[in-house]
Amino acid sequence: MSEFDPIIQTAEAARLLGYRHRHSVWRLVREGKLAKPIKLTTRRSGWRRSTLEQFIAVREGGAA
């Protein structure tokens, strides 16, 4: 059985990644540095927590 992997929306993703503004997260997506989010509704999207944690690990030079 797999572990629960919550979906993190943009504002919380920004805080988790160490940014003050949501647009910083979208800039990373536009630049191809962060995976595109999962579409939740027509106006909401988010990333799996594991995706964000993997991004942080790579950015800090750790193993993915």
Q: What is the pLDDT of residues 43-62, one digit of tens each?
A: 999 999 999 999 999 988 86
Spatial distance between the Cα atoms of 5 and 30, rounded to a whole number of angstroms: 24
Q: Please give the Cα distance from 14 to 62 (Å, whole number).
A: 20
Cα torsion angle, 36, 54, 62, 19, sign: positive
Q: What is the pLDDT averaged over residues 37-43?
A: 95
| pTM of the complete model | 0.84
Counting Cα atoms < 13 Å in the Cβ hemisphere of 38 gives: 14
Closest CA to 28 of 51, 50, 44: 51
